Amino acid sequence: MSGRLQGRVALVTGASRGIGRAVAKRFAAEGAEVICVARTQGGLEELDDEITAAGGKAVLCPLNLRDFDKIDQVAAAMFQRFGKLDILVGNAGDIGGGLAPIGHVDQKHFQECFDINVTANYRLIRAFAPLLKQSDSGRAIFVTGAQAHTHSPYWGVYSASKAALESIVLTWATEIANIANTRVNLIDPGAVATRMRTIAFPGEDSTTLAQPDDVAGAFVDLADTACAKHGQIITLNQE
């Protein structure tokens, strides 16, 4: 690796598996100290072992993002320890208990989907925007999907949540365009072999899809201090 993120402090949600795991490992390989956020303690410990074995630095943060007030607590702890945040990756996602007609979606699953895909990311922005401003080149990256712009049957709740996420992130980007050195973007990784993809498309041959490691480089590009992109949606692996 080229050390493009040497000395940077990064926080990645949904880091215990899939794209988040690949991004956390790649960031660490590029020299960042990575705060790895996920619900699964075991998955985080395995990730830590891999990062440490490769000579990287990781801080484990077991957290259910639906515990919104704890996001503020993490931000306060990071201020005490680092005084800043250089890179924020909002990767954790929820598919709302699976796909179903709008009228059949369970209210619990509806709420869980919006809690993770929308509210948690809003709380991340609210909590960490001040820390990103303390960086000489703060970078925020959020994961979206093509469903935010389509109206495919059974995808309504997930689609609505991603559309809301895009609106929030792009509005924030506009608000800070001329008053902060933070660069904010969204990335649509496309068809990637993840657990969520398996739930959405059971029986699909995952070997025909991009793997999480294949898309991690695009996150590095957006996290790099040289990146000038702002308020954009970067699309990979179009279906």
Q: Any idea which residues carry the catalytic annotation?
A: 158
DSSP character at residue 150: -
* Cβ neighbour number for residue 158 with a 10 Å cutoff: 26
- In whole angstroms, give the CA distance from residue 162 to residue 170: 12
Residue 192, strand partner residues: 210
Instruction: Report whether 196 contacts 95 (CB < 8 A).
Output: yes
Query: Which tokens belong to 71?
Result: 């996001």
Query: Which tokens belong to 147?
Result: 């469903």
Instruction: Report whether 49 contacts 43 (CB < 8 A).
Output: no
DSSP character at residue 210: B
Contacts (Cβ under 8 Å, ≥6 apart) of 2? 30
Instruction: Report whether 47 contacts 58 (CB < 8 A).
Output: yes
Instruction: Report whether 223 contacts 5 (CB < 8 A).
Output: yes
Alpha helices (runs of H) in 4-148, residue ranges in sequence order: 18-29, 41-53, 68-81, 107-114, 120-133
